[in-house]
Amino acid sequence: MNNDIKSILVSEEECQNIVSRIAQKISQDYNGKRLLLVCILKGSVVFMGDLMKKIGIPVEIDFMKVSSYGRSTTSSGSINIMLDLYRSDLPETDILIVEDIIDSGRTLSYLVDYLKLKGARSVKTVTMLDKPSRREVDFTPDYCGMEIPDEFVVGYGLDFAEKYRALPYIGILKPEVYEK
């Protein structure tokens, strides 16, 4: 185990089991639809890679990058789109936004509205992790891997200061790592 990790919250095997379960549900629900997985960079890449392999129906993939400002200092929590989705086929497309973790709920709540306004036929969300106790806006994902307590987690794509994304499990950081 990495030296900066206090404990493992979701093991590598548990991650794979969770993704298999979600993928099976998505494969049933989207059968006959035109499924486009939209990965929110960068934290969702690992989840996205595993999920798309386990979904048993044809999928297309795309990417968006967003950054949120003022989460802790203001209540506005505005979202900035750094990489947008440019497609002319959105009216025939069923979008599933793939997210690593939901915290305040602002990112996904904004993106769902944004992609509906852009004309997508349907927009739903899947998240690997959810911290419901941190919610600032009312938001419920359509598919969720696991609800977790209010702890800062890394690994399986998730970072602290761009580190730990490549860990194959989800772990809780040692407090001294933040305080450095």
Annotated catalytic residues are 103
100 binds Mg ion (CB under 5 A): yes
Among 9, 43, 98, 127, binds Mg ion (CB under 5 A): 43
Nearer to ligand IMP, 83 or 91 (CB): 83
Q: Which residues pair with 97 in a beta bridge?
A: 38, 125
| C-alpha dist (Å) from residue 13 to 8, 65, 151 | 12, 28, 21
Q: Which of 46, 158, 167, 170 binds ligand IMP (CB under 6 A)?
A: 158
Sign of the torsion formed by the C-alpha atoms of 11, 17, 22 and 23: positive
DSSP secondary structure string, 101-126? Answer: EESSSHHHHHHHHHHHHTT-SEEEEE
**Using CA atoms, how far apart are residues 103 and 160, in angstroms rounded to an integer?**
15
Site for ligand IMP in 74-133 (CB under 6 A): 99-107
* Longest distance between any two alpha carbons in the chain, whole Å: 51
Nearer CB in complex with ligand IMP: 58/176: 176
Given a contact cutoff of 8 angstroms between Cβ atoms, the answer to whether 141 and 126 are in contact is yes
Least Å distance, CB 1 to ligand IMP, is 17
Q: Binding-site residue total for Mg ion (CB under 5 A)?
A: 2
Nearer to ligand IMP, 58 or 162 (CB): 162
Binding partner of residue 9 among ligand IMP, Mg ion, none, CB under 5 to 8 Å per kind? Answer: none
How far apart are the C-alpha atoms of 112 and 89, rounded to whole Å? 17
CB of 42 to Mg ion, least distance (A): 7
- Under the rule (CB under 5 A), what is the footprint of Mg ion? 43, 100
- Under the rule (CB under 6 A), what is the footprint of ligand IMP? 43, 68, 71, 99-107, 152-154, 158
